[in-house]
Amino acid sequence: MAKHRESLKKKVMKTFWRVQQAQMIISVVFWSMTLSGIFYPYFIAKFPDWAGGSENTFFGLIMLFALVLAGIFLFGFVYDKFKFWKEQQLVIVERNPYTSWKLNPIQTMWAEMWVETAKAIPDKTPELEAKIEFYEAWIARLEEIDPWTKEMRGNIRAFALEGDDTVLRTLAKKD
């Protein structure tokens, strides 16, 4: 079997995703540092003896940084508890056709197997006949509007039965 190499696009996407994951932590720290630097002169003017006074600037900045960081986390906690945000997974599911009406190639193959099993039942009820007809029409329509699904089903069969790695090459091409 040919060794599947990761494409440049996938590497860039993975790196971009990892940077985004670290971005929130980095931005909270930078915002805390920035706000501490901006508000320290006002804070020390209002409270001259706070954190050792004006001669102990470093300790005062560290204390203000901790306060700002705690304030940001408190704001985030309250924001989360009061549900001021929309669940991102709900949006992802609503906009993804593969979670609502579209079947991926593997699901299509399972549905096809169910149809064949249901067809083999000798005394079918009218409801079962209607479901068989529905699934056959659904699979045919999906293959009609998405040729990639039909191609992948053939490649998966070749991969499973003949050891052909076309399915891996097709995935690499799609990237």
Given its phi and psi angles, is residue 123 left (phi above 0), alpha (psi -120 to 50 degrees) or beta?
beta
Q: Measured between alpha carbons, how far is 145 from 113 in angstroms, rounded to an integer?
A: 21
Element (H, E) at 139: helix 126-145
Token digits of residue 131: 């479901």
Query: What pTM, to 2 d.p., does this model score?
Result: 0.44
Element (H, E) at 168: helix 166-174
Q: Measured between alpha carbons, how far is 94 from 101 in angstroms, rounded to an integer?
A: 11
Residue 2: pLDDT band with limits 50, 70, 90? very low
pLDDT digits (tens, 9 = 90+) for 85-140: 666 666 667 777 777 778 888 889 899 999 999 999 999 999 999 999 999 999 99
pLDDT at 4: 54
pLDDT digits (tens, 9 = 90+) for 31-48: 888 888 888 888 888 888
pLDDT at 137: 94
